[in-house]
């Protein structure tokens, strides 16, 4: 999965993908909810990811996000598959975070990780990091909701990091005590506003995009997945651009890191902010579709397209 995501970032950097801006459907009656459409295309397939975010779901233990991908055949344009996507989305997000952590940390992998926001995405990122060979001495956890922190610590006890989990009620203390920090909250506006917390220059995976205050962003080496995508929708980087009036504080993209154009400056905090590109979901969904097709395990709907003769014969 991580290899597939790496290939897609390289393809994206070489202009071989199509990724128009995501469309955010907001609902006045449900201000905390939204549904995002992410259209896109790779060299093999086109399609759209349609993913809902209902934060109120988590109170009952139901995952926040749900969605589906429609894959379109490039030969005819016909939709060929409808694929469940909440897990694909979590998996590609975790793979992208693990890839970025890998290339930005190099051989100097941090052993103290801290998770701020302890939901489904945080769990997938921890799983993927450990599957990619990361070993931790301490796994710190901070969440505004005690049940979420407890749920994450319960998950950790079922992994090889059993006994390494540590709950922090003070977010500043968690940041100071972690060299790799994963931000996976649902915060709509920046809440990590003390640059001194980052004085030890950690590597930050800013997956939830809106947690860091502008001063923290401006102090850091910023790496993104796509500059245009990432500097919109009031992300922390978008707010930074609005403050300074330029994009000079963005060092480059993950493609630039993968191709050796830029690297981490150990004397600065390094922040990776991935907006999340639809082409990653499409590539993963295509790989799953093809594996199931080749194994004869597709669930087909016979007659779904019932008028396939233009002349009605």
Ligand X SMILES: NC(=O)c1ccc[n+]([C@@H]2O[C@H](COP(=O)([O-])OP(=O)(O)OC[C@H]3O[C@@H](n4cnc5c(N)ncnc54)[C@H](O)[C@@H]3O)[C@@H](O)[C@H]2O)c1
Helix (H) or strand (E) holding 51: strand 45-53
The distance of closest approach from Cβ of residue 124 to ligand X in the complex, given in angstroms and rounded to an integer, is 8
Dist CA 289 CA 68 (whole Å): 13
User: Of the candidates 17, 19, 85, 208, which one interacts with ligand X according to CB under 6 A?
Assistant: 208
- x-or-dash string of contact with ligand X, 52-91, rule CB under 6 A: ---x--x-----xx-----------------------x--
| Residue 127 engages ligand X in binding (rule: CB under 6 A) | no
Piece of 98-106, 136-144, 235-243, 281-289 that binds ligand X (CB under 6 A): 136-144
Burial of residue 223 (CB within 10 Å: 0-12, 13-18, 19+) is buried
User: Of the candidates 8, 184, 220, 288, which one interacts with ligand X according to CB under 6 A?
Assistant: 184
Instruction: Using the minimum distance from each CB to ligand X, give the nearer residue, 39 or 276.
Output: 276
Beta strands in 130-239 (DSSP E): 138-142, 165-167, 180-183, 203-206, 221-224
| Residue 13 engages ligand X in binding (rule: CB under 6 A) | no
The distance of closest approach from Cβ of residue 160 to ligand X in the complex, given in angstroms and rounded to an integer, is 21
Q: Reduced to 3 states, what is the DSSP secondary structure of residue 135?
A: coil
Dist CA 68 CA 81 (whole Å): 10
Dist CA 276 CA 207 (whole Å): 9
The distance of closest approach from Cβ of residue 131 to ligand X in the complex, given in angstroms and rounded to an integer, is 18
Other Cβ atoms within 10 Å of 87 Cβ, number: 16
Q: Which residue is nearest to ligand X (CB)?
A: 119
Integer-rounded Cα Rg, in Å, for the chain is 20
| Residue 145 engages ligand X in binding (rule: CB under 6 A) | yes
Q: With contacts defined by CB under 6 A, how many residues of the chain interact with ligand X?
A: 29
| Residue 143 engages ligand X in binding (rule: CB under 6 A) | yes
Residue 86 contacts residue 66 (beta carbons within 8 Å):
yes
Residues in 241-300 at the binding interface with ligand X, rule: CB under 6 A: 274-276
* Interface positions with ligand X (CB under 6 A): 55, 58, 64-65, 89, 93, 116-122, 142-145, 148, 184-187, 191, 207-209, 274-276
């Amino acid at each position: 999965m991580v290899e597939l995501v790496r290939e897609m970032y390289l393809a994206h950097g070489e202009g071989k993908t199509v990724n128009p801006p995501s469309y955010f459907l907001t609902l006045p009656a449900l201000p905390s909810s939204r549904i995002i459409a992410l259209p896109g295309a790779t060299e093999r397939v086109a399609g759209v990811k349609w993913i809902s975010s209902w934060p109120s779901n988590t109170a009952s233990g139901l995952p926040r996000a749900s969605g589906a991908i429609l894959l379109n055949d490039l030969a005819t344009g016909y939709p060929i598959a409808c694929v469940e996507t909440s897990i694909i989305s979590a998996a590609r997000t975790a793979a992208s975070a693990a890839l970025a952590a890998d290339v930005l940390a190099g051989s100097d992998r941090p052993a103290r990780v801290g998770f701020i926001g302890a939901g489904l995405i945080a769990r997938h990122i921890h799983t993927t990091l450990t599957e990619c060979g990361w070993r931790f001495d301490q796994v710190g956890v901070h969440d505004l909701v005690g049940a979420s922190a407890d749920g994450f610590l319960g998950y950790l006890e079922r992994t090889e990091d059993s006994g390494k989990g540590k709950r922090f009620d003070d977010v500043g203390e968690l940041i100071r005590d972690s060299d790799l920090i994963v931000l996976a909250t649902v915060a709509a506006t920046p809440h990590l506003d003390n640059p001194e917390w980052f004085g030890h220059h950690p590597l930050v995976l800013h997956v939830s995009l809106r947690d860091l205050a502008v001063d923290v962003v401006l102090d850091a080496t910023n790496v993104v997945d796509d500059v245009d995508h990432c500097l919109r929708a009031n992300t922390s980087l978008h707010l930074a651009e609005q403050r300074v009036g330029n994009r000079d504080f963005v060092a480059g993209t993950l493609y630039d890191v993968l191709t050796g154009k830029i690297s981490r400056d150990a004397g600065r905090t390094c922040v990776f902010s991935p907006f999340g590109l639809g082409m990653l979901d499409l590539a993963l969904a295509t790989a799953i579709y093809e594996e199931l097709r080749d194994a004869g395990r597709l669930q087909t709907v016979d007659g779904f397209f019932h008028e396939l003769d233009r002349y009605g014969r």
